[in-house]
Each structure stands twice: as C-alpha cells, then as structure tokens.
C-alpha cells in the first residue's frame, strides 16, 4: 500500500505540472522556470517567495512552475524527470535532496539551487564557491560554533542534544561541524538520527533525561515538525535553541539566530536572471548570505519565563523578533 501511495503521489505531481503548462497564464513565447522544493515548511517557502519576488521586481516575464516533493526522494526524482521532459529553461532546487535529484537528472539544463548547506557533500560542487558543469546557487551554511558559543553564554549548558535527518547530506555535514564545535567549546554532544518528521517526538523523548539543552541547525525534517521537539522539551523545562529563525516563529524555541531565507531567495532570483540574460550557470560563483543585516535574533519570552530564564533588555532590544503573550512582534 505504501508503495502504491508513493507511485500515486508521483503521478499526481507529474500531471499537475503538465496541467500548469496548459493554463491560461502559460505563454509559449516566454522561458519556463521550474521551481521545486523538497518539502513544505516556512524556511523553504520563504526562499521560494523571495525567488518569485525578485523576478517580479526586475520585470522578468517567465512561465513559473512550482512543485513540492512532499519530503519524498522518489517524488523529487519524478519532478526532475518531468522538468527534463518539458525542457524547462532553468531548474531551481530548494534544499539539498531536491537539488541533487535535479543535478543527477538534468545534463544540460541550467540549475540554480538555494537553501543548500554543503554543495560539495551534496555532490554537485567542486568547492564551496564553484558548482559543477551546469549548476550554481546560494548556500545557507550557518556559523555553528559561534551560535553554540552565543547560546552557551546565554544559558550555561554542558550536554547539548542534536536531532538530525540521516538521509539529508546537509544534516550529515552539519553534524560533523557540530562535533568539532562542541569539542572546541568543551560541550558533550548527544546525537540522535531520524528518517522522517514523524519520528521527532520519540527521538526527543529518548533524549530529554540526557541533555541540558537542544540545538537545531537547518534540518528540513526538524523544521517541519519543530513543535514535537519544543513541546517535549518544555515538559522537562529544557531550552531549545535554533540556528534558523523561520521555524521558530510559532514559539517554543527560547532563542534563535539565523539568516533570512527570503533574502536567500532574492539572491537566487538574481542568479536566475543572469542565466536568462545569457550567462552559464557554471560561470556564476556559488554565493553565501553573509551580510549581518540579514542575520537576525529571536527571543520567545513566554518560553523563557516557563524555563525560569531572564532575558535582559539589551538582548531584547537587539532582537528582530520577540514572542510575548503568544504574540509575535517584528521590529
């Protein structure tokens, strides 16, 4: 039954894409941009929105096809094959597994990725700044050591728990970086892998008696089911810290730091425009969002109060996002 449902989902994706090309907005005289994301969650949605906003802001007239693999690698491959059959002019992959599916399927089509942490480990770049043959993009690598040091200064923990998705190469890469960072900071790292978001709650329950805090880097499965972790941790009064702002906006993460995925999308849109204007993808260097103005803070004062943690006025004033009385305020 599971295999049948996966096949049915892939068929639906293929036919929904075909239907998009035939709708009233499709113009055969315009280039087609195929945008495919791994899964539906706020960070990847923000990146997708940023891409489209940049194209619109620059007055770029294109057909845009948007597809979602629903977190399934088989669906990602089906989308890549459909993009190949339909000869899209530029294929856009949002997140590492979706980008890998495009790269492994599309030999000549220009590919632009975004929300990818380690394109070298993903297999589609020769270095952190140079993509292979027909690919370039924007990376979302975060300063893990600096984040852990900042969180430890805020709340003095010694054992930090990290849950990650074993099938995501970006997460495997960040696990290795986190191991090194924890060793340098004198922290004990407690790791637990999952394969699907549905396993997150059980993983958190298995760790709450062994850690002083949780740290979440940019893992797509964790972002999708963040509340399963935060609710479990809150019951034991264990703080959760985030390396990405967007999944924390609904509350539960006491302190989060991260770059704007919307701005990553805008930068990705600029690369797409360069390709539409005649540049080759492999000639465009991979870029990273490093500007401090896009690196934001969030504090959940409700969760801090529940944990008995005081957030001083200086920190509150430095944050772009504050959650208080279950209300999100953006400065």
pLDDT at 213: 98
The percentage of the chain sitting over the pLDDT mark of 70, rounded to a whole number, equals 93
Segment 20-25 mean pLDDT? 54
pLDDT grade for 292, boundaries at 50, 70 and 90: confident
Mean pLDDT, all residues of the chain: 92
Helix ranges (DSSP H) in the chain = 2-21, 42-57, 73-86, 96-105, 119-122, 144-154, 169-185, 200-207, 220-224, 226-235, 261-276, 301-307, 313-318
Mean pLDDT of 60-66: 96
Q: What is the pLDDT of residue 151?
A: 98
For residue 100, the model assigns a pLDDT of 96
What is the arithmetic mean of pLDDT over 11-24?
A: 48
Is the distance from CB of 296 to CB of 257 less than 8 angstroms? yes
**What local confidence, expressed as pLDDT, does residue 18 receive?**
46
Average pLDDT over residues 284-307: 94
Q: What is the pLDDT of residues 207-242, one digit of tens each?
A: 999 999 999 999 999 999 999 999 999 999 999 999
Q: What is the pLDDT of residue 289?
A: 85
Across 136-140, 222-226, 267-271, 292-296, least confident range: 292-296
Q: Answer whether residue 305 shows pLDDT above 50.
A: yes
8-state DSSP, 281 = G
All structural domains of the chain: 2-140+261-291 (3.40.50.2300), 144-259+293-330 (3.40.50.2300)
* Band of pLDDT at residue 15, cut at 50, 70 and 90: very low
Give pLDDT tens digits for 177-189: 999 999 999 999 9
Q: What mean pLDDT comes out for the span 108-123?
A: 95
Q: Is the pLDDT of residue 8 over 80?
A: no
At 1, is the secondary structure helix, strand, or coil? coil
DSSP of 129-143: TEE-TTEEEEE----
Q: What is the pLDDT of residue 26?
A: 83
Return d(Cα 315, Cα 213) in angstroms, integer: 20
pLDDT higher than threshold 60 for residue 144: yes
Q: What does the DSSP assignment read for 284-305?
A: SPPEE---GGGEEEEEEHHHHH
User: Residue 24: its pLDDT value, please?
Assistant: 58
Task: Please say if the pLDDT value at position 22 is more than 50.
Answer: no
Q: Which two tokens stand for residue 251?
A: 């509350």
- Check residue 4 and give its pLDDT: 45
Length of the chain in terms of residues written: 331
């Amino acid at each position: 039954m599971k295999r049948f449902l996966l096949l049915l989902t892939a068929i639906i994706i293929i036919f929904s894409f075909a239907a998009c090309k035939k709708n009233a907005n499709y113009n055969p005289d315009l280039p087609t941009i195929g945008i495919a994301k791994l899964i539906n969650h706020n960070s990847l949605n923000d990146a997708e929105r940023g891409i489209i906003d940049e194209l619109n802001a620059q007055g770029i007239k294109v057909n845009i096809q948007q597809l979602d693999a629903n977190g399934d690698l088989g669906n990602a491959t089906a989308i890549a094959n459909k993009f190949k059959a339909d000869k899209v002019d530029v294929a856009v992959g949002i997140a590492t597994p979706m980008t890998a599916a495009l790269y492994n399927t599309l030999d000549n089509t220009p590919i632009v990725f975004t929300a990818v942490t380690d394109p070298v480990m993903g297999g589609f770049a020769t270095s952190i700044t140079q993509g292979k043959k027909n690919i370039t993009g924007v990376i979302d690598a975060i300063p893990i050591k600096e984040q852990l040091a900042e969180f430890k200064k805020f709340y003095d923990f010694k054992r930090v728990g990290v849950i990650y998705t074993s099938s995501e190469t970006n997460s495997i890469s960040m696990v290795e970086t986190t191991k090194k960072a924890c060793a340098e900071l004198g922290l004990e790292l407690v790791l637990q892998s999952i394969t699907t978001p549905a396993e997150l709650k059980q993983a958190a329950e298995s760790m709450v008696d062994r850690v002083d805090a949780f740290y979440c880097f940019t893992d797509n499965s964790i972002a999708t089911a963040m509340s399963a972790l935060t609710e479990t941790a809150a019951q034991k009064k264990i703080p959760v810290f985030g390396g990405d702002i967007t999944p924390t906006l609904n509350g539960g993460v006491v302190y989060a730091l991260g770059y704007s995925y919307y701005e990553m999308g805008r930068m990705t849109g600029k690369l797409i425009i360069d390709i539409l204007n005649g540049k080759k993808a492999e000639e465009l260097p991979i870029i990273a969002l490093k500007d401090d103005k896009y690196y934001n803070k969030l504090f959940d004062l409700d969760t801090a109060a529940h944990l008995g943690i005081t957030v001083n006025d200086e920190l509150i004033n430095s944050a772009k996002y504050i959650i208080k009385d279950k209300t999100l305020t953006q400065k």
